Amino acid sequence: MLEDAFASVVHWMEQSWLGVAGRDVFWVFPAAETLHFFGLCLLMGAILVVDLRLLGFARRLPLQATLALIPVALWGLAINLLSGIVFLCAHPENYWPSFAFRLKLLAIVLGGLNALWFKWFEAPRIATLAEDANVDARAKLVAALSITVWIAVIVLGRFLPFVSKSSS
Amino acid sequence: MLNFLEGLSQSDLIRLVAESDYGYPAVLTAHAIGMALVVGIVLVFDLRVLGLAKRIPLSVLRRFFTVAWIGFAINLTSGTLLFLANYTAFIKNVAFITKISLLLIAALCTWLLARDIESNRLPAAAQGAIETPTSRARMIAALSVILWLGAITAGRIVGYTDVPE
């Protein structure tokens, strides 16, 4: 049932102008891949600085000022969601049936939920702390989870083309 | 020189990278993570110099170059493995040569910027005042963004030329 609903959405994406452009205009797919790497760097760069500071690295980095880098990570994520949709529309058969792709989607959802948890439950507590404060174990866990999940997303993404090739 | 490269490319390690099912994707994955560390940290630094998150002291943010260096070491290692696995194709690949050239100039920019920030460290920084980079530093930072992203673009084009993905 759910699988059928998804299949029709995937079919619609494949037939969309974006899918056609991704397949027929030679530079669209490589351009989306390049943007996907730019977004990856923005997302990971900002996340590394914020999360490593929360974990206790470079404690002289002012806590509240460091959180101002979060929008950079969100820009990176937005670039990658959009460029990722181009891949999916152009060649859904390479992604949708692939276990690595589904695992990657799951990891992205986990990363997003972890970020929302940070925004709703950790950021308000951190806002009351001094600039040179060491955050508590709970906030550190969220930071460690964030780094782990986003690195897992990179690993799954990089293995995806190889895994789906061998399974089809 | 070519004999030396040929000898290395026939070693067990390089054959494992080039021919085993997961050797090549594993090294590519390491290369992507290294890229995230190097370019990610450098971009954050450049954006701060260009005016983003002004309250972050550059003199402290510099400490994250340690992370970038770890990424650089990962990518020098993984990049060398990938190069040796198909060196005959890479050695005459224009996109690859462009990528390496851009990388070297980009690294030079980042080094210049780090040195610039160090020598222009404002005395007020210690009191928590905002550090304002010089216009020269801002220019190098802008150039650095373009060059690092250019290196990534050239690297992506390498994948579309006669080198196996």
Q: Which of A30, A48, A162 sits opposite B156 (nearest CB)?
A: A30
The complex scores an ipTM of 0.92
Distance CA A84, CA A75 (A): 14
Mean pLDDT, chain A, rounded, equals: 93
Q: Hey, which residues 21-60 in chain B have their CB within 8 Å of chain A?
A: 21-22, 24-25, 28-29, 32-33, 35-37, 39-44, 47, 52-53, 55-57, 60
| A11-27 pLDDT, tens digit each | 999 999 999 999 999 99
Q: Could you tell me the pTM of the whole model? A: 0.92
Domain edges within chain B: 2-158
Q: Is A56 left (phi over 0), alpha (psi -120 to 50) or beta?
A: left
Distance CA B114, CA B130 (A): 17
Distance CA B146, CA A130 (A): 36
Contacts of A164 (CB under 8 A, 6+ apart): A94, A95, A97, A98, A100, A101
DSSP letter for A131, please.
T
- Chain B CB within 8 Å of residue A162 CB: yes
- Chain B CB within 8 Å of residue A6 CB: no
| B23-79 pLDDT, tens digit each | 889 999 999 999 999 999 999 999 999 999 999 999 899 999 999 999 999 999 999
Put simply, the answer to whether B55 touches A44 (Cβ < 8 Å) is no
Distance CA B87, CA B163 (A): 9
Residue B117: what pLDDT?
81
| B86-136 pLDDT, tens digit each | 899 999 999 999 999 999 999 999 999 988 887 765 555 555 567 788 899
State the best of A158, A165, A166 to mutate against chain B, taking most chain B CBs within 10 Å: A158
Put simply, the answer to whether B55 touches A65 (Cβ < 8 Å) is yes
- Chain B CB within 8 Å of residue A133 CB: no
